[in-house]
Amino acid sequence: MILKGPLTADDPFPGQSRRLRLGVIGGGRIAATQAMAARMTDRWEIVAGALSSDPQKAVAKAADWHLDPARSNPSFAALAEAEQKRRDGVDAVMITTPNHLHFAAAEAALAAGIDVMCDKPLTNDPDEAARLVASAQETGCVFAVGYVMSCFPMVRQAREIVASGALGRINQIHVEFMQDWMTPDSVAEADHVKWRLDPAKSGRTSCTGDIGTHAAHLAEFVSGLGMTDLRADFHVCGAPKPLEDTVFMATRFEGGVPGTLMATRLAPGNRGGLRLRVFGSKGGMEWDLETSERLKLNIFGQPDQVLSRGHGHGVSPRTERLVRAARGFPEGIIEAWANLYTEFALAVAARRDGVPSRLDFPDVFAGAAGVRFVEAAADSAEAGGIWTSISEV
Amino acid sequence: MILKGPLTADDPFPGQSRRLRLGVIGGGRIAATQAMAARMTDRWEIVAGALSSDPQKAVAKAADWHLDPARSNPSFAALAEAEQKRRDGVDAVMITTPNHLHFAAAEAALAAGIDVMCDKPLTNDPDEAARLVASAQETGCVFAVGYVMSCFPMVRQAREIVASGALGRINQIHVEFMQDWMTPDSVAEADHVKWRLDPAKSGRTSCTGDIGTHAAHLAEFVSGLGMTDLRADFHVCGAPKPLEDTVFMATRFEGGVPGTLMATRLAPGNRGGLRLRVFGSKGGMEWDLETSERLKLNIFGQPDQVLSRGHGHGVSPRTERLVRAARGFPEGIIEAWANLYTEFALAVAARRDGVPSRLDFPDVFAGAAGVRFVEAAADSAEAGGIWTSISEV
Amino acid sequence: MILKGPLTADDPFPGQSRRLRLGVIGGGRIAATQAMAARMTDRWEIVAGALSSDPQKAVAKAADWHLDPARSNPSFAALAEAEQKRRDGVDAVMITTPNHLHFAAAEAALAAGIDVMCDKPLTNDPDEAARLVASAQETGCVFAVGYVMSCFPMVRQAREIVASGALGRINQIHVEFMQDWMTPDSVAEADHVKWRLDPAKSGRTSCTGDIGTHAAHLAEFVSGLGMTDLRADFHVCGAPKPLEDTVFMATRFEGGVPGTLMATRLAPGNRGGLRLRVFGSKGGMEWDLETSERLKLNIFGQPDQVLSRGHGHGVSPRTERLVRAARGFPEGIIEAWANLYTEFALAVAARRDGVPSRLDFPDVFAGAAGVRFVEAAADSAEAGGIWTSISEV
Amino acid sequence: MILKGPLTADDPFPGQSRRLRLGVIGGGRIAATQAMAARMTDRWEIVAGALSSDPQKAVAKAADWHLDPARSNPSFAALAEAEQKRRDGVDAVMITTPNHLHFAAAEAALAAGIDVMCDKPLTNDPDEAARLVASAQETGCVFAVGYVMSCFPMVRQAREIVASGALGRINQIHVEFMQDWMTPDSVAEADHVKWRLDPAKSGRTSCTGDIGTHAAHLAEFVSGLGMTDLRADFHVCGAPKPLEDTVFMATRFEGGVPGTLMATRLAPGNRGGLRLRVFGSKGGMEWDLETSERLKLNIFGQPDQVLSRGHGHGVSPRTERLVRAARGFPEGIIEAWANLYTEFALAVAARRDGVPSRLDFPDVFAGAAGVRFVEAAADSAEAGGIWTSISEV
């Protein structure tokens, strides 16, 4: 048994009798962030990689990552094959390649019985996404997707508040993700940006798939309502670009609840302006990534409330177990990633222990839903902004 | 001469050799607020009224307002007739009746050569609005409209910043007005609310005409760009109501600049959530009624800035002359109204002195533009949210 | 009867059958602010003045104030004498001269049976303050003092919260008043500043008497505890000056509750940084003049709360009756002054009607307490910062 | 060579050819936090421990930490002895025992040539602190102290701003650390709290040594000025306790700059209320742990500024190299600890490589200064709050 105790809904998470073994596919900045988080949990050790298709780069990167050179691979296929053969092979891989490579890398891992943590959007193509869902179900592998925003303690608390009925019937859902780093015209030409605007790598959308999906997932995760329809206008606000840098949507959720969604990278003064607002018949709620540790809550007729993690104060034990630092000592996005890597570890360990696990981390279904959201947005925008249903499977 | 000095673009406003005489048409809460502001300026004395069509109420209200009973009138028509005959008749009237009565009251005043301050929306009908524009031009009377949000010092400063080019080419304009007082189902039945939801009094829209117009005017006033097209979805979020309580729009401004506009009264936790965001190729700006004395400004690549009125600190003399309280001592909406009543007084005095005045207060053209905005929104929403042009005249 | 209804603890304030008549002694910027507030209430008309000891200036100022020239006086003595003889003489005077003249002006008014609103500090000398207390008691005149900070709705609410016991036993009281306008060395030489640094006019202290007294009064008003002891260090932080521009204190309140008090005018980035924090065994509270409409409250173990005025939401009827603008529409310091002038009007009217009034506005006792606080601070600082008792009478 | 490149003042930090080996002395919550940070850097592996003096607990904890049982030791002495003998012995230890054990543990490590990261306060006794300074100098070992607040990017930026002269001559320094977790009377009896109030373990002070030292170090670190004198009042605000839970101070820094310092654990509504304000002749600055990623800056006469890390925007390369997450994605205290463990790793590696390093992390001198600050505070408070010099060595 890897898990040292039972997994319950509200108790602190159990420890592990050993660290799980993680392989890294794609070795850029996003991988580095997730690796920091995985290490922070002390539930993972990073032991193998496919860090670059360029052999020389691969050697240098393996050294940077302190990997055994024998476990540095030239491709994800090679990694899957080699690790599958080892008695101490990886339990899971993280996939942080450009979007168009996610599918093949994930398929290779699943085929080798390796659990998967894949960056979002899951794929550029809904069919590929559907095939990953099927593969995950067939293999029984754990499959997590990097919708990390859902792993902030206060976002979890927000979800609990909606579920408790404290806001009454949900009336409106507004979400926006506003960044500003693409403001200078020149940025679109920078190397680390170019692929995001290249339809061959990024798919039919850029901003929508990249940050719009975070916004859509957050809205669904907290409200507990699936988005059913949308209409989208795509805009290129700054220098000409092959794909949109800005999107505005009207949205509709289960039960006909109306909403709006915006995403842009040309909003000077906004860095991580991911803001969710949920309004109901009894109260309203607001969360903002830039002040991620505070959840604003208003029950109509009462004073405004600000919830923050730590030592009770209206925050549930289920939320509190995601907390690392003492009350008042700030946490951030790497801790949110660490929450995702903690829950992923627990699910991986539970699978290997042969015990069930029910956890709240975003999975392959959430990943595929995001791909269908992007597809519907692109369809709507191409058709001039008409109402478009998000396909259900 | 009433004005004691010249009116320039940037100097402090001149004093007056006498107070101007103001009549009050409609004697409810909005009139009370505007009266406080008018008195605060010490440029006006309130000397006549048509405070109620119920004779008994009219007597009681005249006493509350400390009016000479002889100048308390049973109707706006009677007021206009009586005051026109007096040597010391009113210079101007404020009109704060329900919307559907604005037109007749304003026409009566203009016909009597009396200057007008009319609440918004100017009328429920674009034709009536156009006729008021024509009457104002024919009579040469001063005609102000109560878009008071444009009279906050920091809103004026925001307009100057856009005009200076500091934000570069405008790329996006977002504005929203979120309130929460209509959250309880029962509110829709309250007396002071009912008329706002009655199409006979409020026109084709409720929320759109009442607070959506504030949002639209603010966006145009600060950006200096007219709104040309929109598409609107109307929603009833809470208890069933004859008119919308919530509206979401996609908008387009001159030069094709895209934007969004939202207004709702069912957003618990928002009281005066009128927020404007303007993003350009060099910088962005944000203003919020709930923190009306702070203007957030970001020039891309520089630290965020927060501008506030008082003693320089990056605020222009033109803005500073609208300031009453010392730096750090807060001002609010009554002071914004007082700014409007100050500029209105200066324009009225200038007309009577026979000198020109160019001031920034919202006038009958702005009022008529607001009515056309409401009309386009109602047309669009009825047609299922299609793009609709705002008529130009 | 001037009052149109009874004065109760919680009901809206009654109207008046006539406006009260106010005379203005001292015609500078502070008078202008208070006059705006008085006019806003519509409970006062300003009918007489002693606006300048320079006859030519007095004439010009009387015209600016739209005063009858016959009621513009060369001195407060002349004003008191002239108005006392009139049947329609002033009911009250506001005194906003430099500090050293308050005493004589107030004595003259009281001797003439005229009610008094006097700026703070009441006097530069505790004996003079004690004599004003005696005169007020002997004459039965109403005597208000301009501790306007106690007239913000959320400060009143704060006082109610302490009185309700919601914070438990008070453990600590911290208050500071931080401004920045004296930062540039040159300011100390400006005309409107010079008298504040001149011991002949400003007394033994500058910053302490001017803004330190606001801080001390606010702390006592909200906590309901008198300050009994203090030790003070005076500092001159910028250019050399005859009096302190900065003061730090340790304080002690009734029951031995410890606290701190700071005041300075050389804190760049602070404009109206008057901040009060009260901590008790069950909860804590924070109010800041720069965000005057929000009161932060924490009951230990619960989420933070933010109270704001308007439509209930945890704010008492007693507080709400001080509110003029609708929820979400900001109010400011002029409205706080208007609250003071409203309560002052009610008290003046009640005296003339021969009915009792119990209201919360700051009176001559509060004014005298402030003078004794300044005296103790100056004594302590001169003695090197030793603990010094604030004399009780 | 462990370091893969040169250490300069402003360039990104070099990588390492191997992870450094860390031993853990004391295995509680503070150790867990620091371990997360050390792992996040990927510059350390935790290979040995003295996690408990209770043999059974030690075994269980070693498993929790995934330690080789052979390297789990019953005492710090045993750890030092055993590791010293190994070819792959630890490069450094972290010491997070109760305060009274720091000295002996650190001495043992230094004697074995092992570098030290010790929690603050360094010791309870100034003489012990002085001996550690001497030992560190004699052995040449690297000695870091856990003043982690100095490792937030915006605190580093604040220090640079003062050093640049942008604030002019420093006039005032205010710092406070306000927490609320000791508000309930019962807390003082909790096991993890008791030792903090026990003079035998915590020394002459509780709150002063524990969080007051953070405040003092932060003030000195940012201002670049040493604190020379203080006077302190100790208070017990809630339930009776053997040591103070609250301290208020007047302070004096080099050049006679005046300031204040407060620390308390009974301020309901404050969790991590560590706030520093520095005011100078040209500008002022404010930093607050609860909003650790924003630095407020005002240059007098200009708009307020808010600096935040990421992509320039007025933040120096020297600060930026401490940044892990993309702009707008929040970081927190564990990242600040990771900055400290990064700089500590670089210094340890440099010593082993035989190359010089000059880094900004808090060292044994800062640690000893903190102990002398506590001593002076206790002396002053005992003497009734008299001015007391902080001894220089």
Q: What is the pLDDT of residues A180-232, one digit of tens each?
A: 999 998 888 888 788 889 999 899 999 999 999 999 999 999 999 999 999 99
Does the beta-carbon distance from D238 to C171 stay under 8 Å?
yes
Q: Report whether pLDDT(A98) > 80.
A: yes
Q: What is the pLDDT at residue A312?
A: 64
Q: What is the pLDDT at residue C293?
A: 94
Count of CB atoms within 10 A of residue A169's CB? 12
**B259, β-bridge pairs:** B173, B251
Q: What is the pLDDT at residue C315?
A: 87
Q: Report whether pLDDT(A393) > 80.
A: no
Tell me the C-alpha distance between A93 and A79, whole Å.
10
Q: What is the pLDDT at residue D311?
A: 60
Confidence of residue A311 (pLDDT cuts 50, 70, 90): low
Which among B180, B235, B298 has CB closest to A268? B298
- Which positions ≥6 away from B269 have C-beta within 8 Å? A279, A283, A284, A285, A286, A296, A297, A298, A304, B180
Tell me the C-alpha distance between B383 and B391, whole Å.
16
Q: What is the pLDDT at residue D187?
A: 85
Instruction: Tell me which chain A residue has its CA closest to the CA of residue B184.
Output: A281
Does the beta-carbon distance from C308 to A313 stay under 8 Å?
no
Are C19 and C342 contacting, i.e. CB atoms less than 8 angstroms apart? no
Does the beta-carbon distance from A270 to D328 stay under 8 Å?
yes
pLDDT single digits (tens) B312-332: 677 899 998 998 888 888 999
Q: Which residues from A are below 8 Å from B263, CB to CB?
A: none
pLDDT single digits (tens) B82-97: 999 999 999 999 999 9
Q: What is the pLDDT at residue A185?
A: 87
Tell me the C-alpha distance between B323 and B308, whole Å.
11
Does the beta-carbon distance from D301 to B307 stay under 8 Å?
no
Which among D303, D307, D314 has CB closest to B306? D303
Candidates D161, D306, D311, D315, partner chain B, best to mutate (most B CBs within 10 A): D306
Strands B388-389 and B227-235 turn out to be antiparallel
Which among C301, C304, C314 has CB closest to A302? C314
**How many percent of chain A have pLDDT more than 90?**
88
Tell me the C-alpha distance between C49 and C83, whole Å.
10
Nearest CA-CA partner of A279 in B180, D107, D73: B180
Strands B304-307 and B295-299 turn out to be antiparallel
Q: Which residues from B are below 8 Å from A174, CB to CB?
A: 262
Per-residue CA distances from D134 to B376, C33, D52, D344, D357 (Å): 81, 65, 28, 19, 20
Does the beta-carbon distance from D304 to B308 stay under 8 Å?
yes
The one-digit pLDDT tens for each residue of chain B (393 residues) are: 999 999 998 899 999 999 999 999 998 889 999 999 999 999 999 999 999 988 899 999 999 999 999 999 999 999 999 999 999 999 999 999 999 999 999 999 999 999 999 999 999 999 999 999 999 999 999 999 999 999 999 999 999 999 999 999 999 999 999 999 999 988 888 887 888 899 999 999 999 999 999 999 999 999 999 999 999 999 999 889 999 999 999 999 999 999 999 999 999 999 999 999 999 999 999 999 999 999 999 999 999 999 998 666 778 999 989 988 888 889 999 999 999 999 999 999 999 999 999 899 999 999 999 999 999 999 999 999 999 999 987
Are D348 and D20 contacting, i.e. CB atoms less than 8 angstroms apart? yes
Residue whose structure tokens are 């907290």:
A222
Does the beta-carbon distance from B292 to C18 stay under 8 Å?
no
Candidates B161, B304, B327, partner chain D, best to mutate (most D CBs within 10 A): B304
Q: What is the pLDDT at residue C136?
A: 98
Candidates D64, D334, D342, partner chain A, best to mutate (most A CBs within 10 A): D334
Does the beta-carbon distance from B279 to A268 stay under 8 Å?
yes
Chain A positions contacting chain C at CB under 8 Å are: 297, 301-308, 312-314
**A21, β-bridge pairs:** A45
Report which secondary-structure segment, H or E, holds B133: helix B126-139
Q: Is C355 helix (H, G, I), strand (E, B) or coil?
A: coil
Which among C39, C66, C179 has CB closest to B40? C39
Are C349 and C92 contacting, i.e. CB atoms less than 8 angstroms apart? no
Min distance C295 CA to chain D CA atoms (Å) = 12
pLDDT single digits (tens) B148-160: 999 999 999 999 9
Q: What is the pLDDT at residue B90?
A: 98
Does the beta-carbon distance from C246 to D180 stay under 8 Å?
no
Q: Which residues from A are below 8 Å from C306, CB to CB?
A: 303-306
Nearest CA-CA partner of D185 in D272, D266, D273, D269: D266
Task: Indicate whether this complex's ipTM tops 0.90.
Answer: yes
Does the beta-carbon distance from D264 to C172 stay under 8 Å?
yes
Nearest CA-CA partner of B25 in B88, B150, B126, B112: B112
Q: Which residues from C are below 8 Å from D286, CB to CB?
A: 269
Tell me the C-alpha distance between C69 and C84, whole Å.
17
Does the beta-carbon distance from A268 to B238 stay under 8 Å?
no
pLDDT single digits (tens) A125-148: 999 999 999 999 999 999 999 999
Min distance C43 CA to chain B CA atoms (Å) = 10
Q: Which residues from D are below 8 Å from B283, CB to CB?
A: none
Tell me the C-alpha distance between A18 and A43, whole Å.
8
Interface size B-C, in CB pairs within 8 Å, comes to 111
Residue whose structure tokens are 């209206």:
A314
DSSP3 helix / strand / coil % (chain A, rounded to 5): 40, 20, 35
Min distance C44 CA to chain B CA atoms (Å) = 11
Tell me the C-alpha distance between D136 and D282, whole Å.
40
Tell me the C-alpha distance between C205 and C215, whole Å.
15
What are the average pLDDT values for consecutive 10-residue runs of chain D, which has 393 residues? Answer: 93 96 93 97 98 90 96 96 97 96 97 97 96 98 98 97 98 97 88 87 95 98 98 94 97 98 97 96 97 96 90 81 88 97 98 94 97 98 97 82
Chain B positions contacting chain C at CB under 8 Å are: 15, 17-19, 29, 33, 35-37, 39-40, 42, 63-66, 179, 181, 270-273, 289-293, 308, 310-311, 324-335
Tell me the C-alpha distance between B47 and B57, whole Å.
18
Neighbours of chain B (3+ CB pairs under 8 A): A, C, D
Q: Which residues from B are below 8 Å from C338, CB to CB?
A: 36
Does the beta-carbon distance from A332 to D335 stay under 8 Å?
yes
Tell me the C-alpha distance between B61 and B73, whole Å.
11
Does the beta-carbon distance from A328 to D35 stay under 8 Å?
no
Min distance D80 CA to chain C CA atoms (Å) = 43
Which among C301, C306, C314 has CB closest to A312? C301
Are C257 and C251 contacting, i.e. CB atoms less than 8 angstroms apart? no
What are the average pLDDT values for consecutive 10-residue runs of chain C, which has 393 residues? Answer: 94 96 93 97 98 90 96 96 97 96 97 97 96 98 98 97 98 97 88 87 95 98 98 94 97 98 97 96 97 96 90 82 88 97 98 94 98 98 97 82
Number of H helices and E strands in chain D, helices first, is 13, 14
Does the beta-carbon distance from C258 to D237 stay under 8 Å?
yes
pTM: 0.97
**Cα–chain center distance at A301:** 35
Q: What is the pLDDT at residue C312?
A: 64
Angle between helices D126-139 and D102-111 in degrees, nearest 10: 10
Which among B297, B302, B307 has CB closest to D314? B302
Report which secondary-structure segment, H or E, holds D79: helix D76-85
Alpha-carbon torsion A179, A183, A186, A188, what sign? positive
Which among C303, C308, C312 has CB closest to A305? C303
Instruction: Tell me which chain A residue has its CA closest to the CA of residue C310.
Output: A301
Per-residue CA distances from B233 to B182, B208, B384, C73, D255 (Å): 19, 11, 7, 64, 66
Which among C171, C238, C262 has CB closest to D171? C238
Q: Report whether pLDDT(A392) > 90.
A: no
CA max distance for chain B: 65
Which among B18, B29, B310 has CB closest to C271? B310
